[in-house]
Structure formats: C-alpha cells, structure tokens
Amino acid sequence: MKYEGIIIRPPSEARSLLLQVTVGCSHNKCTFCGTYKGVRFRIKSEEEIREDIVEAAKYKRFIRRVFLCDGDALIIPQDRLVRILEMIKEHLPGVERVGLYGNAKSILRKSDDNLMELKSLGLGIVYLGVETGNDEILAAVRKGVTYDQMVEAGRKVKRAGITLSTTILLGIGGKEKSMDHARDTARIISDIDPDFCGALTVMLIPGTPLYQAYVDGSFVLPDTFGFLEELGVIIGQSHLTNCFFTSNHASNYLPLRLRLPQDKEAATGMIKQIIESRNDRVLRPEYLRGL
C-alpha cells in the first residue's frame, strides 16, 4: 500500500483496510485542525487506487471493512467514486462495509440518488464533523457551513440508509461561549439524530489559528470542570432516538459510553456529582490526554 503524508481514521476503523483515495482535505480551513496544513489536496488516480486494491486482495480473506482516506473522500466526483467502490467489490468480495469522512459541503453536493447508489455499492458509514451547533462559532472556526446546512447534510446521509457518525468538540467556543456552544450542540445533534456521536475535547495545536488566538489571549479554554459542564448540558438537553454516544477519545477527561436516551439520567447525574465534588481523581490525567 502506498500512503502519502499523515493518515487519520476514526477509532472504530482500527481493524479496517485503510485505502488512501485522496491526499489531504478538500476544505482544510478549520482553525483548530493542523492535520493537513501545507498539504495540497488531490484525488489519487484510478491507476494508483487500483494498484493498492489489487495488492490488498492478496489478504482478502482477512479484510471485512475498508476505510477510504483522507479527510474528505466523499468529495470525489460520483462516477469516480462509483468505480472505486466497484473495484473494491470486484477484488475484495468479503468486504461488508466501506466508510469515509464526509464534510457537510461534500454531502450536500451529492443528490439523494447519488448517496443511495453509493449505499448499494457498499458505502455503509459516513463520519461527519459537526463540532458545534452554534452558527457564530461555526463561522469563527471556518467550518464553511451553517447550522441548517449541517443538519440537512446529516439528514441526507440518514435518508439514504447510510449509518451516520458525528463528532462534536468540547471547548470549541472557548470559556466565553461555553454554554451557548453546549446548548446549541445539544440542539443540532437532536435535529440530526445520528446513529453515533463522539464527543472530543479541543486540543490546541501549534501552528493553527486557534492556537495563536490562545497565545494572544483572545481565546480562553474552559477549565477541566468547564469541559464537563458542557458535556453534561449536551447529554442532558439532547433528544436522540437511538444513539450510541461516546466521550472515550484520548482527548477527553471523562470517558463515557452511553446509549441515548436510555442512559441520559444516569450520565448527567454522575457528571453533576463530579463537578460539585470537584473530584478530579476519576478523570483522565493530563499526561494521558492526546489526539
């Protein structure tokens, strides 16, 4: 397999074949992300992709899932993406699910019929970075979409019958907009109603605009218990029908694995108790946090 640059994947794709079909991210403007800075986005040629698929086919009896890297494989034009999925079906017949990252803009460029066609060819899950439900914060971090566009993108994936996994970012509104961020994020994930939702905590990465704002003093992070307050509000004010909600990413202080709405009351009660007691012994220590 031939990889270029940094390869990232969701934690749930740990056992998947990582097939790089694009290099970098088609948006690459988010102020908090340093992953692809200085990387010019490109879509790999079909010849390059076919070579990797044929190589992987030597181990096809072990491959059940494929994840299409990098940051936004859904931006690939429909006809080319269809051919990639057809190549996977041809050479890796045992694959049960293909997954990829899709930002809201790339999802909205696909018609419902496009997405249903991709579903029929094996696309089983799309990972959407929501980050926040607050329009002011979305603009500040340069996500490039609004609340309404984000909701429509999420619903569009679900209408096609594709599993939707969203991520949100604790602390992305800073201390000043902490509660606005939490309340609006509870509202947006309720409106989208994803199958999975993962809460991460914002990490300040040197070289990014958000890090510079932190250094300049214009962006102030919540403290440890401020992050927990956001998490409690998001869980408590969400109205989800059947969502597996996690905060077990390495960036988080309090690892949780919940089924919502069933576990809402127990989770919010626990978070409230930790905040009120200021009991940081149950939290992940700072030296174990990371991206």
Classify domain 14-285 at the CATH topology level. Answer: TIM Barrel (3.20.20)
What's the pLDDT tens digit per position in 165-190? 999 999 999 999 999 999 999 999 99
The pLDDT-based confidence of 209 (bands split at 50, 70, 90) is very high
Mean pLDDT calculated for residue range 7-24: 94
- Asked, as a colleague might, if the bond just before 191 is cis with ω within 30 of 0, I would say no
CB 43 within 8 A of CB 74: no
CB 89 within 8 A of CB 53: no
Return the minimum-mean-pLDDT range out of 68-72, 82-86, 209-213. 68-72
What's the pLDDT tens digit per position in 119-131? 999 999 999 999 9
pTM check: above 0.85: yes
Residue 199: which residues within 8 A CB-CB, separation 6 or more?
167, 168, 169, 170, 231, 234, 245, 246, 247, 249, 252
Other beta carbons less than 10 A from residue 218's beta carbon: 10
Domain boundaries, the chain: 14-285
